[in-house]
Amino acid sequence: MIPVQGFDGHKVAVLGLGRSGLATAAALRAGGAEPLCWDDSPEGRARAEEAGFAIHDLTRQTAFDGVAALIVSPGIPHLYPKPNPVIAAAMAAGIPVDNDIGLFFRSWATREFDNFDTTPRTICVTGSNGKSTTTALIHHILQEAGRPTQMAGNIGRGVLDIEPAEDGEVVVLELSSYQTDLARALTPDIAVFTNLSPDHLDRHAGMGGYFAAKRRLFAEGGPDRAVIGVDEPEGVYLANQIAMGREDDRLIRVSSARKLGDWGWSVFARKGFLSEWRKGRQLASIDLREITGLPGAHNHQNACAAYAATRALGIAPRMIEEAFHSFAGLPHRSQTLAEKAGVRWVNDSKATNTDSAAKALDAFRNIRWIAGGLGKEGGVASLAGHLEHVRKAYFIGHSARDFALELAPLEHEICETMEAAVAACMRDAEAGDTVLLAPAAASFDQYPNFEKRGEHFAQLVDALPG
């Protein structure tokens, strides 16, 4: 646990008592503060009481009397589409509002750092797609290189739940726009921007607000080194704002679409090969094509970003390449589950929108595609240009028939359930085929979340013969 600094002897309100909220309350208490906890749900309040925290009704008129700050869980809106009433009341009363990310950065460094031979570092990863894979891959490379490391944030543990730093440790944090938007302190040593595509637009009042939330990671703290994906206009703009000129190697540009050899420092992937260039010459190259944990151009972009971040720490290219080969990938993200009778079974249940589904469809050949669920606004017609390698689709869930109509004349079968879809794929698939679960839809019609959907698919695949 990271004891929160700066609130010793003060009352600090905590709104939202999920994983990060309870970890925040514990870290505040460890730092000498008195956490006053509130959640709109009785279940959340009960969890806090069981953990020994005081429940303090933050909806009361005098709730913020004597309170030094309000700490908010990331899922609670503070501005758009409209502020949560408790947050609005705190702001009206002049109470500083922060989140656990802001507390982490004000509390991570301690006087113990003066006794270390190597100062601990933080790497923060943000963007729309690939954040989790990039974060996990950086963490894996560090582990394989023998560096002490912890991973937290939007993946794994809450940031305040990790252990205090060791000598030379590197903490790798995945940060969502919800987390970067509100944090009052953001001071990573290395900051990574993967890419940008529309998401959470209601929470940020459009693409401009969404990008602005991501940009804060680079603008507020000024990282020592920035790794920027430049395959979208926003990344190009962000890189331009950071660099003082073409040769400025505090910035590492990353692309999975084109060569970037003319900059101070760049890492790019073309035709399945990763290349590192610095000051006009190539320093390293890695063949990504046979790395099973990183299939497809979208994962090659993740590999480039992770490579750049770990090279910035001085890790050798050969060691990074070895770590790539031992990386198993994350569950539910282009995860190869099995190969049976020459058929590859891939779980990409995390592909809940058309953008991520398109990347999965572009990554494989001879696809038997399982898709559907609770369709999202805008439908799936945009996937029509990504069906070249789909032999047949097997649609499930609430939007199965809508998908079939939108993607006609694609050969398809309405299966309704995951069990029926897996059975149909088992019946039809031939050696050399890939059965790909990439739903392009939310899971809530049949499953509580995408993880449960992917787990069900994995269980059905595991039970298949061969």
CATH of the domain at 228: 3.40.1190.10
Query: Tokens 């190259």 identify what position?
Result: 285
pLDDT at 14: 98
Given 326, 361, 379, which residue is the final one in a domain? Answer: 326
Report the C-alpha gap between 135 and 85 in whole angstroms.
Answer: 34
Residues 263 and 357 in one domain: no
- Pick the last residue of a domain from 268, 296, 326: 326
Residues 357 and 250 in one domain: no
Q: Is residue 442 domain-resident? A: yes
Structural contact between residues 59 and 4, judged by C-beta atoms closer than 8 angstroms: no
Provide the whole-model pTM.
0.89
Question: What residue numbers does the annotated binding site for ATP cover?
Answer: 127-133
- Is 233 contained in some domain? yes
281 shares its domain with 199: yes
Residues 259, 374, single domain; the answer is: no
Residue 68 sits in a domain whose CATH number is 3.40.50.720
Dihedral sign of CA atoms 296, 180, 187, 217 in order: positive
Residue where the block lists tokens 């995390």? 350
Give me the domain span that covers residue 68. 11-98
Residue 6 in any domain: the answer is no
Q: What is the pLDDT along the chain (466 residues), one digit of tens a residue?
A: 999 999 999 999 999 999 899 999 999 999 999 999 999 999 999 999 999 999 999 999 999 999 999 999 999 999 999 999 999 999 999 999 999 999 999 999 999 999 999 999 999 999 998 999 999 999 999 999 999 999 999 888 899 999 999 999 999 999 999 999 999 999 999 999 999 988 788 999 999 999 999 999 999 878 999 999 999 999 999 999 999 999 999 999 999 989 997 899 999 999 999 999 999 999 999 999 989 899 988 899 999 999 999 999 999 999 999 999 999 888 999 999 999 999 999 999 999 999 889 999 999 999 999 999 999 888 999 999 999 999 999 999 999 999 999 999 999 999 999 999 999 999 999 999 999 999 999 999 999 999 999 999 999 999 999 7
Domain annotation covers residue 191 = yes
Please indicate, yes or no, whether residues 69 and 133 belong to a single structural domain of this protein.
no
Task: Look at residues 326, 361, 386 and tell me which one is the last residue of a structural domain.
Answer: 326
Residue 122 lies in a domain: yes
**Number of domains the chain is built from:** 3
Beginning with the edge strand found earlier in the chain, give each strand of the sheet holding 273-278 in spatial order: 149-153, 170-174, 121-126, 190-193, 225-229, 251-255, 265-270, 273-278, 281-287
Which residues does the annotation place in the binding site? 127-133
User: Is position 1 within any domain?
Assistant: no
